[in-house]
């Protein structure tokens, strides 16, 4: 289905929980988040109904997010049920990787296609600092388990932060000479109140490119990343530029929050509540609400024009 600006909307990101086993400084407050409770977050059966409704008119790609999706019990069963829904062609997951070594084989067997793994430093002390206690070795084990299980191609998401990891860019790029990974550098976005607790600054992807002499552009994929690689490298390097060069004209997604709201744009306060339709048990109404959400999707965000950041923290939206 196309929106009013001619973009084909075929992708939905689904947050299954706002909880996380990390407390990343740019994402969550130090004390974590208040438990929304079982009556607030969507039940798996409700997520299935929403996916069935969306898939019925052409939303074919889905990505499970959080918080951290692997902290929610039964996530493997949700993947399996989603994979059996007619019209669902691809299921991915964004994860911090800490629990991935435990679940990678089960997830692949259930129907998960690939993973994006959030990893902002390759240094143990820095990783523990930015995550407020996370263990890098657990993430590395998760990446290896995902590769072994065939959850590929593996994409590693690196939020670029001045004064934190801007001296590690070549360290990440070195991984592309040893593995078929896509290392994706993402500009730090002003979202929610948690960013107030993060002492690190914004760095543009153009500044990162300047630290990587000799990279060559390659054919653009079907996602938002601008892709490059080094000669003789196995993997790729991606740049995601929501601030310095927004890609809104190519945006093909909706977001579903864990408390049942459709967000048509990550940086918009507009949210469409699906609760009433879910409570009425009328799937036809769900279809119409989601279709209308697509038709109301914003043309672009305006972060570079002085617009204030949205109120929700990233963990309450879904990565």
Distance between CA 3 and CA 291 in Å, rounded?
9
Q: Tokens for 188, please give them.
A: 């730090």
**Residue among 270, 294, 243 at smallest CA distance from 12:** 294
Is there a contact between 175 and 181 (Cβ–Cβ < 8 Å)?
yes
Q: Which domains does the chain have, with CATH numbers?
A: 11-316 (3.20.20.70)
Q: Tokens for 39, please give them.
A: 């009556």
The whole-number pLDDT of residue 268 equals 80
The whole-number pLDDT of residue 220 equals 67
Q: What is the mean pLDDT of the chain?
A: 91
Q: Where are the beta strands (DSSP E) in the chain?
A: 11-15, 61-65, 90-95, 114-118, 155-162, 182-187, 201-202, 216-217, 226-229, 236-240, 253-256, 261-263, 271-273
Torsion on CA atoms 58, 61, 66, 70, rounded to nearest 10: 130
Distance between CA 269 and CA 110 in Å, rounded?
35
- Characterize the bridge pairing of strands 114-118 and 90-95: parallel
Please report, in tens digits, the pLDDT of each residue of the chain (319 residues total): 999 999 999 999 999 999 999 999 888 877 777 767 667 899 999 999 999 999 999 999 999 999 999 999 999 999 999 999 999 999 999 999 999 999 999 999 999 999 999 999 999 999 999 999 999 999 999 999 999 999 999 999 999 999 999 999 999 999 999 999 999 999 998 776 556 667 889 999 999 999 999 999 997 666 788 999 999 999 999 999 888 877 788 899 999 999 999 999 887 888 999 998 999 878 999 999 999 999 999 998 766 555 555 666 666 676 6
Cα 4 to chain centroid, rounded: 25
Distance between CA 169 and CA 215 in Å, rounded?
13
The whole-number pLDDT of residue 306 equals 54
The whole-number pLDDT of residue 178 equals 95
The whole-number pLDDT of residue 288 equals 96
Q: Which residues of 172-198 are buried (b: 16+ CB within 10 A; e: fewer)?
A: bbebbeebebbbbbbbbbebbebbeeb
């Amino acid at each position: 289905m196309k929106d009013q600006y001619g973009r084909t909307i075929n992708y939905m990101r689904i947050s299954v929980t706002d909880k996380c086993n990390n407390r990343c400084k740019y994402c969550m407050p130090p004390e974590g988040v208040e438990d929304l409770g079982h009556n607030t977050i969507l039940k798996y059966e409700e997520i299935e109904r929403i996916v069935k409704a969306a898939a019925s008119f052409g939303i074919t790609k889905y990505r499970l997010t959080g918080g951290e999706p692997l902290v929610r019990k039964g996530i493997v069963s949700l993947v399996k049920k989603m994979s059996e829904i007619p019209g669902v062609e691809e299921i991915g997951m964004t994860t911090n990787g800490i629990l991935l070594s435990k679940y990678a084989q089960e997830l692949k067997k259930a129907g998960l296609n690939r993973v994006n793994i959030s990893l902002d430093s390759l240094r143990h002390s820095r990783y523990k600092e930015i995550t407020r206690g996370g263990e890098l070795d657990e993430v590395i084990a998760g990446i290896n388990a995902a590769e072994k299980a065939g959850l590929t191609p593996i994409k590693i998401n690196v939020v670029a932060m001045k004064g934190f990891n801007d001296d590690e860019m070549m360290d990440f790029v070195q991984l592309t000479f040893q593995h078929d990974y896509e290392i994706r550098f993402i500009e730090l976005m002003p979202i929610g109140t948690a960013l107030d607790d993060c002492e690190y600054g914004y760095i543009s992807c153009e500044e990162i490119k300047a630290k990587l002499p000799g990279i060559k552009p390659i054919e653009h994929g079907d996602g938002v990343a601008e892709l490059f690689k080094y000669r003789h490298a196995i993997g790729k390097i991606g740049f995601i530029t929501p601030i310095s060069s927004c890609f809104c004209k190519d945006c093909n997604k909706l977001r579903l929050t864990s408390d049942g709201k459709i967000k048509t744009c990550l940086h918009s306060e507009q949210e469409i509540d699906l609760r009433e339709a879910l409570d009425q048990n009328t799937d036809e109404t769900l279809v119409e609400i989601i279709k209308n959400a697509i038709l109301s999707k914003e043309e672009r965000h305006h972060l570079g024009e002085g617009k204030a950041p949205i109120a929700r923290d990233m963990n309450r939206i879904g990565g």
